[in-house]
């Protein structure tokens, strides 16, 4: 049988440990040193035939990213087949130049992983198909978190729930979520000022009176999208508003501002290990890894 080890990147030790338990594989925790100037050094004394390296690239984004590349290089140089599990894939939103002269950074990230020796990439709820397409030469799988989020929503004691996407980009995701939760769905119309980042949401023709609204998104970063959507839904009479997402980055004082905008609760996954990580991604990731390596 192929010897697989799950390598726990410093950003995702708990998630890696849960994945290794489910796969019945050895867990390897690399020795990591971060020097005062911010450089990281990583040591993995022994590598298996196949290394599944788990490292989410949430802030500090560039540190976690370089650590992921270093682990890929070390395992590949040691002769392993390398599969990267990067639940939150930083830079995925930079999938096209929105303003003339901008770099398509996610295409660079794909090339960096290939150069480091990664042979396969797995991520969760990637921002766009376009971003994903840059990883095609490597092979990429995008694991959905919507079923797990819907399972969690089922425990929330909701009143006539309606699942809402804050924007057109999340329309398919919210439909999948609503299918699992067996509830209604609606997609809002959002626009963002590319220079200032300001988010606007059109007031929809929607009656939310007496209903709990569940905003479903791939990620919450500054919280601007969720705040704008929550305000609109409150105006439309929603009794409660919850925000559910795969990647609850929640930068700076986003949780406070989101609560002030009328959101009653935030649910994230352990893609970002913080107090909102109420949903464990390991069953969905382990299922894909099992069909890849254990069947
Ligand atoms: C945008 O299209 C994404 O799906 C998210 O809605 C967005 O990136 C979240 O960012 P923020 O919380 O800063 O609005």
Q: Determine which helix (DSSP H) or strand (DSSP E) holds 82, and give its type and residue range.
A: strand 81-86
Model's pTM, two decimal places? 0.95
**Active-site residue set:** 190
Output the CA 241–ligand 1 centroid distance in Å.
17
CB 191 within 8 Å of CB 199: yes
Say if CB 214 and CB 158 are below 8 A apart: yes
Average of per-residue pLDDT across 152-176: 97
The pick from 221, 228, 246, 258 for probing ligand 1's pocket by mutation, whose C-beta has the most ligand atoms within 8 angstroms, reads 221
Residues 169-197: tens digit of each pLDDT: 999 999 999 999 999 999 999 998 988 88
For residue 273, count CB atoms less than 10 angstroms from its CB and return exposed for 0-12, middle for 13-18, buried for 19 or more.
middle
Residue 1 has pLDDT above 90, yes or no: no
Tens-place pLDDT, residues 113-155: 999 999 999 999 999 999 999 999 999 999 999 999 999 999 9
User: Tens digits of per-residue pLDDT, 72-118?
Assistant: 999 999 999 999 999 999 999 999 999 999 999 999 999 999 999 99
Among 94, 169, 199, 225, residue to substitute to test ligand 1 (most atoms within 8 Å of Cβ): 225
């Amino acid at each position: 049988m192929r010897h697989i080890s799950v390598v726990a990147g410093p950003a995702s030790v708990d998630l890696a440990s849960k994945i290794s338990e489910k796969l019945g594989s050895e867990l390897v925790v690399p020795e990591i040193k971060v020097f005062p100037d911010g450089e990281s050094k990583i040591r993995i004394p022994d590598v298996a035939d196949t290394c599944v390296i788990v490292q989410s690239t949430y802030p500090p984004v560039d540190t976690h990213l370089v650590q992921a590349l270093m682990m890929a290089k070390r395992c590949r140089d040691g002769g392993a087949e390398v599969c990267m599990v990067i639940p939150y894939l930083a830079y995925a939103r930079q999938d096209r130049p929105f303003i003339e002269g901008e770099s398509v950074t996610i295409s660079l990230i794909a090339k960096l992983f290939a150069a480091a020796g990664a042979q396969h990439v797995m991520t969760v709820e990637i921002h766009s198909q376009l971003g994903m397409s840059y990883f095609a030469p490597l092979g990429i799988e995008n694991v959905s978190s919507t079923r797990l989020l819907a399972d969690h929503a089922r425990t929330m004691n909701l009143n006539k729930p309606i699942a809402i996407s804050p924007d057109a980009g999340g329309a398919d995701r919210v439909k999948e979520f609503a299918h699992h939760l067996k509830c209604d769905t609606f997609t809002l119309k959002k626009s963002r000022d590319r220079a200032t980042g300001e988010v606007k949401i059109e007031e929809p023709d929607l009656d939310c009176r007496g209903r709990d609204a569940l905003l479903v998104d791939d990620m919450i970063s500054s919280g601007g999208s969720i705040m704008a959507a929550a305000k609109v839904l409150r105006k439309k009479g929603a009794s409660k508003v919850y925000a559910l997402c795969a990647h609850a980055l929640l930068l700076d004082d986003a949780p406070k501002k989101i609560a002030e905008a009328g959101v009653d609760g935030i649910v994230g996954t352990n893609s970002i290990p913080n107090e909102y990580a109420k949903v464990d991604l390991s069953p969905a990731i382990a299922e894909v890894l099992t069909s890849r390596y254990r069947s």
